[in-house]
Amino acid sequence: MNVLIVHAHPEPQSFCSAMKDLAVTSLGAAGHAVQCSDLYAMQWNPVATAADFTERSDPDYLVYALEQRHAHARQALAADIASELDKLLWADLLILNFPLYWCSLPAMLKGWVDRVLVSGACYGGRRFYDRGGLVGKRALLSFTLGGQAHMFAGEQAVHGELELLLRPLLRGTLAYVGLGVLPPFAAYHVPYIDAAARQQLLDDYRDYLANLDHLPLLAMPALADFDRLLHPLHNEVPA
Amino acid sequence: MNVLIVHAHPEPQSFCSAMKDLAVTSLGAAGHAVQCSDLYAMQWNPVATAADFTERSDPDYLVYALEQRHAHARQALAADIASELDKLLWADLLILNFPLYWCSLPAMLKGWVDRVLVSGACYGGRRFYDRGGLVGKRALLSFTLGGQAHMFAGEQAVHGELELLLRPLLRGTLAYVGLGVLPPFAAYHVPYIDAAARQQLLDDYRDYLANLDHLPLLAMPALADFDRLLHPLHNEVPA
């Protein structure tokens, strides 16, 4: 299996970085090919701009996704984007590894999503969800957060259900481009726990990575359940 | 009323930018004081790093939120952050105006949230939701997107319910820091509609802004419904 880990944490000594290192080591030891994009170390540029395209469909008015599609077809994506997109297309498994900032990705990593999930390559037209450009690959989120598990354990919890909070990522991003979405690995309460509890989390993460093939994918919409204009064919709530 | 509009779009001629201009003009004409942070024009830096603090609590190991708290207390926030935080604390109403990228903020604007919603000033310890640092102020999201309204009209829709998709922003960000959250203004299908339909959207947005005081705030968790460890006191699902 080819694995791409995209990691974004401003502190190289962080527990989150240790999770990234563990994934590199343990997946490598299991015989997988692993590449890692350490966005802070790379000084990745997260800001989508007109400079992302070396040739424009419309040089006078920027519609970002349309220029992505044009530039992908003409091999006119900026070099940093093209390089990351190559890694993504090479990968069978994508791991986004990050500290949860405001229930979402840090801007550094959000800007990888904004710029690298290129229209034309990863989605576009009617190619999304189970018809997305990355169908056949899988993805997972591995992240650290300050909160505790019970604060996200269902809709009655103070922050509601974790998977709902992560919906824009799990469904709106990963599933949207066709990736099979594995259950997220959440490392709770990291700033407040002792070394033994941190070691336990790393052990849990190692086990999780060793057992990926036995984890069920999250249920996601299938376009066959919707008509051509994307109205639902049935009034069932998707799982 | 003091209004801060934080705007992030890579194309100054975009419809999204026209929404920002309309808000500046119409709220100003109604007698409100308006400031606008146009993040692309400002070349805002969205990346959280150690350079965000001119003095560190722990110079050898970066825990971003803890350094925010320390730096806020010591007036040691980087100048660009301090300037935006001043505007935020001045404002009675915060408007985030943006194109929806991956069901969320563009990285440019996510990095404003990451860096400016400073622990110690906006939240921290047990100060969140209805006890958050920005209680008494209100906020709204105004955004453009490619999708159509029916694609987000309830859980049976292809992308599920819009307010659930926006939960990390509406609840996990705006409500978390104590802001009263107004219903979002979504400008659907913008890249695909004609000039008359765009004008109608601008008219709708003008009406929306003129009627803010008559819009009910979204229901959010109240900490009185949870115990000291944030376990729910009742098993009701929050509205």
Question: pLDDT tens digits, residue range B3-15?
Answer: 999 999 999 999 9
Q: Could you count the other beta carbons within 10 Å of the beta carbon of residue B60?
A: 7
Q: Could you tell me the two tokens for A82?
A: 């093209």
Q: How far is A210 from chain B (nearest CA, A)?
A: 29
**Rounded to the nearest 5°, which phi and psi values hold at B50?**
-60, -25
Q: How far is B221 from chain A (nearest CA, A)?
A: 7
Contact residues, chain A, for B47 at CB < 8 Å = 10, 40, 46, 107-108
Is the Cβ–Cβ distance between A162 and A148 less than 8 Å? Answer: no
Report the mean per-residue pLDDT for chain B. 96
* Interchain pair A172, B106: CB under 8 A: no
The letter for the amino acid at A193 is I
Q: How far is A52 from chain B (nearest CA, A)?
A: 11
- Is pLDDT above 80 for A235? no
CA B198, distance to chain mean position in Å, is: 23
Structural domain boundaries in chain B: 2-225
* Interchain pair A167, B165: CB under 8 A: yes
For position A236, what pLDDT does the model report?
57
Is the Cβ–Cβ distance between B119 and B71 less than 8 Å? Answer: no
DSSP state of A93: E
- Is pLDDT above 90 for A234? no
Report the mean per-residue pLDDT for chain A. 96
CB contact burial B101-111 (16+ within 10 A = b; e otherwise): bbbbbbbbbbb
Nearest CB to A232 within list B63, B103, B157: B157
- Is pLDDT above 80 for B215? yes
Band of pLDDT at residue A171, cut at 50, 70 and 90: very high
* Interchain pair B110, A107: CB under 8 A: yes
Section B82-92 average pLDDT: 98
Contact residues, chain B, for A158 at CB < 8 Å = 129, 221, 223, 226, 230, 232
For position B125, what pLDDT does the model report?
82
Distance (Å, whole) CA A94 – CA B71: 36
Top CATH class, B2-225: alpha beta
DSSP state of A34: E
Q: What is the pLDDT of residues A114-145, one digit of tens each?
A: 999 999 999 998 899 999 999 999 999 999 99
Give the whole-number percent of chain B exceeding pLDDT 70: 98
Q: Could you tell me the two tokens for B166?
A: 């926006």
Is the Cβ–Cβ distance between B206 and B26 less than 8 Å? Answer: yes
Band of pLDDT at residue B234, cut at 50, 70 and 90: confident
* Interchain pair A10, B49: CB under 8 A: yes
ipTM of predicted complex: 0.96
* Interchain pair B238, A110: CB under 8 A: no
Distance (Å, whole) CA B190 – CA B187: 7
Q: What is the pLDDT of residues B101-137, one digit of tens each?
A: 999 999 999 999 999 999 999 999 889 999 999 999 9
Band of pLDDT at residue A237, cut at 50, 70 and 90: low
Q: A101: Cβ–Cβ under 8 A, 6 or more apart, which residues?
A: A107, B48, B110, B113, B114
Per residue, the 3-state secondary structure of chain B, as one string, reads: CEEEEEECCCCCCCHHHHHHHHHHHHHHHCCCEEEEEEHHHHCCCCCCCHHHECCCCCCCCCCHHHHHHHHHHCCCECHHHHHHHHHHHHCCEEEEEEECECCECCHHHHHHHHHHCCECCCEECCECHHHCCCCCCEEEEEEECCCCHHHHCCCCCCCCCHHHHCHHHHHHHHHCCCCEECCCEEECCHHHCCHHHHHHHHHHHHHHHHCHHHCCCCCCCCHHHECCCCCECCCCCCC
DSSP state of A146: S
Q: How far is A222 from chain B (nearest CA, A)?
A: 9
Band of pLDDT at residue B237, cut at 50, 70 and 90: low
Q: Could you tell me the two tokens for B164?
A: 């659930």
For position A125, what pLDDT does the model report?
82
Q: What is the pLDDT of residues A194-224, one digit of tens each?
A: 999 999 999 999 999 999 999 999 999 999 9
Q: Could you tell me the two tokens for A215?
A: 């984890």
* Interchain pair A102, B113: CB under 8 A: yes
Section B208-223 average pLDDT: 97
DSSP state of A199: H
Q: A97: Cβ–Cβ under 8 A, 6 or more apart, which residues?
A: A5, A6, A7, A8, A9, A16, A19, A20, A23, A142, A143
* Interchain pair B155, A14: CB under 8 A: no
* Interchain pair A232, B148: CB under 8 A: no
Q: A121: Cβ–Cβ under 8 A, 6 or more apart, which residues?
A: A72, A85, A89, A133
Q: A115: Cβ–Cβ under 8 A, 6 or more apart, which residues?
A: A45, A46, A48, A52, A80, A81, A84
Q: How far is B68 from chain A (nearest CA, A)?
A: 13
- Is pLDDT above 80 for A4? yes
Distance (Å, whole) CA B15 – CA A81: 26
For position A104, what pLDDT does the model report?
98
- Is pLDDT above 90 for B236? no
